[in-house]
Amino acid sequence: MERAKPQKIKRENKGEIPGVPLTLDGWNILHQMFRIRRPAWNALSSAEREAAVEEGRRVLDDMERGTQGQSALFSILGHKGDLMVLHFRRTLEDLNGAELRLANLRLSEYLEETTSYLSVLELGLYQATEGLYAELKAKGVGPGTPEWVQAVEVSLAEQRKAQAPRLWPNVPPRRHVCFYPMGRKRGESKNWYLVPMKERQRMLHDHGMIGRRYAGKITQIISGSMGFDDWEWGVDLFADDPLEFKKIVYEMRFDEASAVYALFGPFYVGLRFDAASLGELFDGKTPSFTPA
């Protein structure tokens, strides 16, 4: 069997258009997954359980209604945990504050954090990047020059203004969530980061066209996590019908960007619930959710 040939590393020449697409960044995002320590919780008296739940309700209801970033609660299905808390915040300091606020609850004594994921809501600008860089090159403006840097900053500022609703959304008010981290292959024969930007743009465009067919059924939030966590992106899918998760992920597996270059981490599927229903989760019942 013939061994696959490794991709050649193309050295960047001075003055060549960079192959790194620009991005816009929005909310800082933290996913926290917990397992309820049932034996310790069940050993408490009814009065102790009610007091702990009532304190948790008050704090989580306030975090749920935050005007500078929301938190949302999900009951996880399967062995990976019982509770996922999703936080959207402006800064890492704000995220840390939300994390510590939970840690200071009496309920935290009965929650074991099984994992977490840190990322930043990200919008990729492949098409806009290619157009801007080509325009600058045509004007004789070289990469890294003051004129280049200024033009990039002006373009990003315009894009941030235009894309503000997508950078700073509320947590979508849908009953089901599917979260998973992912990355791109950097192997000997297949390396996403050695593919020319125009080719990556084409593949992602085709990939995105599949997602568009699920508009109205699924709300998707992509977050970048390079330098923040173990994978490269986090993907949150929100839907009223959970079968849509299976359909879109399955269909996208046949897409070139996924079939050839994608790597996937563990999947977490959960049911959104209101802070007011926190006691139901700890009582072993399916907690309820009323979209605002």
Annotated catalytic sites, by residue?
Answer: 180
Hunting for tokens 């079939």 — which residue is that? 259
Nearest CA among 287, 267, 286, 269 for reference residue 277: 287
Residue 240 DSSP label: S
How many CB atoms are closer than 10 A to CB 91? 12
Hunting for tokens 């926190």 — which residue is that? 278
Hunting for tokens 């996208």 — which residue is that? 252
**Helix, coil or strand: residue 64:** helix
Q: Is the CB of residue 25 less than 8 Å from the CB of residue 33?
A: no
Q: Where are the alpha helices (DSSP H) in the chain?
A: 38-42, 46-64, 92-103, 126-138, 146-162, 164-167, 197-212, 243-253, 256-261, 278-282
